[in-house]
Amino acid sequence: MSRRPAQARETARWAVGLVQMPEGQGLTAAALLGDGCAIEELGQTRWRYWSAAERRAMSADGTAGAEARREGALTALSEVLAAFPEAQALGCDTLAPEVGAALAEAMGLPVVRDFAAADRELGGRGRPMDAFFHHALLRSTGLRGASAVLVLDRVCRLTWADADQPDPAAPGACLAFDIGPGQAEAGYRLTGGRVSEPLIEAATQALWFRQLPPKWLTGQSFPELGAALAQLDPADAAATTRSLIAVAALIGLSQCPAPPQELLVAGPGRRDSELLQLLEAGFEGRIRTVEAAGLDGEALTAQACAWLALRVLAGLPSSGPGTTGVAASVGGGRVSRPGGDRRDPGN
């Protein structure tokens, strides 16, 4: 999907983000053109799956397994990146330091990883790290004013943005927080169950829903919920969780600085038509899946890594008090450069 204006910024460059697929099936790579301030264009997405032989080699124990994982990662990364000759920077949050350094040498490009490093060092939670990307994404679709991205996954979370503000690190421009528990992708596909209203009533009495954002789920947020759901038939558990997600989302939206006029839905749960109907019944603005907005829901995480790489390399903040709870806006990941220069312009 192209968002390039008539004349792209002179400082814009292509970055490629790389992430592991769900269940460790392989790699997803996605390209993005930007300058760290605005998204100019969302480029192609590619997938590279692990072969059975690679899976066996990388699952080995000891030194042999570690070496196989290193070599397998480098081989797969080099193969998938061959499809992106336009790349000028790479972002991959979970790369091991030695793999990042080797990849920088092999590709001749700066490689940015561990985006949350500086955030954690300054007392932040280190998550979510895609909130500033969501802010830029909402602006790139032409939205202005209060808008939001709802990610429906095992943990459900919300990014609220004042899309009138071009700088996500500006006071009041971006807020991100967990809204409550979600479920595995299979749970979003289960239908036909009955909602346990007593369980919903008990869950909504949790202190969690009275806490103001930003906030992040812990094991103590809903200590009895997992055991209670486990007592239900799987379809009933899925239906009950679906109802609780809808309630939690509407409460979370009510806690935002201003009511969003538009809500984009991402994550595995965006395919759950029953859940979308529950959200639409209680939300006064417009709700669309990211696909309905012209975006690729399967590429967002990789695109976020590309975007964060651009911000780190430009010395721009990648998180702030309203997204991770860090004391002040901070930027910086770990940067590996060709020739061994690993300076971090964000720190």
Higher pLDDT, 4 or 47: 47
In whole angstroms, what is the distance from residue 321 CA to residue 111 CA? 26
Identity at 235, one-letter amino acid code = A
pLDDT above 90 for 157: yes
Neighbours of 194 (CB within 10 A): 11
pLDDT above 90 for 55: no
280-290: pLDDT as tens digits? 999 999 999 99
Phi, psi of 19 (to 5 degrees): -140, 160
Token couple for 97: 């330091």
Query: Kindly report the CA angle at 172 between 129 and 137, in degrees rounded to 5?
Result: 45
Average pLDDT, the chain: 91
172-198: pLDDT as tens digits? 999 999 999 999 999 999 999 999 999
> Once rounded to an integer, what is the mean pLDDT over residues 101-119?
94
Using CB atoms within 10 A of its CB, is residue 258 exposed (0-12), middle (13-18) or buried (19+)? exposed
57-100: pLDDT as tens digits? 777 787 877 787 778 788 888 899 999 999 999 999 988 888 89
CB 317 within 8 A of CB 169: yes
Range with the lowest mean pLDDT among 14-18, 288-292, 342-346?
A: 342-346
What pLDDT is recorded for position 51?
87
- Of the pLDDT bands very low, low, confident and very high (cuts 50, 70, 90), residue 345 is very low
Token couple for 254: 């009510």
Q: Which residues contact 169 (CB under 8 A, 6 or more apart)?
A: 132, 316, 317, 320, 329
What domains appear along the chain, each with residue ranges and CATH number?
Answer: 13-119+312-317+330-336 (3.30.420.40), 142-289 (3.30.420.40)
What pLDDT is recorded for position 9?
54
pLDDT above 60 for 347: no
Task: Tell me the three state secondary structure of residue 233.
Answer: coil
